[in-house]
Structure 1
């Protein structure tokens, strides 16, 4: 019975191994940026396009972070190990959109003035939290490649990359603090619930998977 279930799971995951799967995901991840660039060029981002751009890039960073964290729970739940091949790309696109979010804030809000940026970080806690999340994301992106994994060693690499959980907490806190001024927490709650569910599901599904193998 277990062998039949394993073969069925492998058959379900075959489509994830087709050569065009990664290029398709790459194009899908770029689609939000293409839409924002078109919106800016066509003057479709509203009365305050700079704010709309900064906000949208931040939203897409959170969405891609959710998708990155969803890979392991979904892989375990569906018994589809081939899903793991997309995790690195999703994680790097999370960093990419976070970088664009940061650069848009630095350029459009503060004119890329280093002194103003430093003062803004000290003055507004939600900016400080966002910078901390970005610093961790940068470290994770820089060590996401096989050479870095070999250099750090498997266990150290895993310990380091578990800090993605802290990135998730800091990202939601950044979003919550930013929305606190407007007393608008609806979206924050949605992202918070999604990320909490994903983080809680990972150890539960791993434990269930280990139990089934015995």
Structure 2
């Protein structure tokens, strides 16, 4: 009788990570309802949801490199969760802007997108997040097929860059914090590029190796000792 291994990741770690991912929202709600935000609460909510969107994007981008470098395969089980939370906080960020800040004044928002480039790139990044959130489930992956699903979800790289640029253009003056995010995202993307180049070279070298032709005449027993055949 075989004993089933205890799934400590699914039973303990995933619920803990899920709960921790909701802590920023809970803290923001607590501060809002207890009047602990600044004189401009809309700006506080916008900034908080925006920074947590970027943080979850960075965490999502970091999972694969961390899994490969640390050889912890179970980390990949959190990639979907962190990606969905990135969309969740992005949706709150966007909703705060169109509802609390602009009161659904669509013309004013269109003017913002046209005149303020940090809003334009932020809006574009959010739009790119939508299909990733809608296809984050197993049924969507099966419907699209592995190759198309992977190709679609590589938009995460572009969204990560867009999020950093949005932050830099929004801050303008003190660039220390957005620079940190830019460096981290840059390193994570360079790691992926390096692995891709290494993998491409490996396949290229493997394709150049030609197996021995079966039509060649096999050497005799006496020849095989004096002139051995080396197989690659």
TM-score band by shorter chain is 0.7 to 0.9
Q: Offset at 1:205?
A: 5.2
Corresponding residue SS for 1:184: coil
Of the candidates 15, 19, 38, which is equivalent to residue 46 of structure 1? 38
Q: Which portions of structure 1, spanning 4 or more consecutive aligned residues, are displaced by more than 3 angstroms? A: 203-208
Of the candidates 110, 120, 123, which is equivalent to residue 115 of structure 2? 123
- Which structure has more relative contact order (CA 8 Å, sep 6+)? It is 1
Larger Rg: 2
Q: Distance in 2 between matches of 1:16 and 1:114?
A: 48
Q: 1:119 to 1:16 in 2, by over 3 A?
A: farther
Of the candidates 175, 194, 200, which is equivalent to residue 190 of structure 2? 200
Does the 8 A contact of 1:16 with 1:83 survive in 2?
no
Q: Offset at 1:17?
A: 2.5
Aligned length: 196
The answer on 1:72 being equivalent to 2:56 is no
The answer on 1:149 being equivalent to 2:141 is yes
Q: Offset at 1:23?
A: 1.1
The answer on 1:190 being equivalent to 2:206 is no
Q: TM-score, normalised by structure 2?
A: 0.79
Q: Distance in 2 between matches of 1:29 and 1:39?
A: 17
Matches for 1:73-92 after TM superposition, within 5 Å: 73-92=65-84
Corresponding residue SS for 1:45: coil
Deviation digits for residues 133-182 of structure 1 (CA, Å, limit 9, x no counterpart) = 001111111111111111211111111111111101111111111112xx
Q: Distance in 1 between matches of 2:24 and 2:50?
A: 12
Is the helix fraction higher in 1 or 2?
Answer: 1
Q: Offset at 1:115?
A: 2.3
Q: Distance in 1 between matches of 2:17 and 2:24?
A: 12
Q: Offset at 1:18?
A: 4.6
* Two-structure CA RMSD over aligned residues (Å): 2.0
Q: Distance in 2 between matches of 1:15 and 1:194?
A: 31
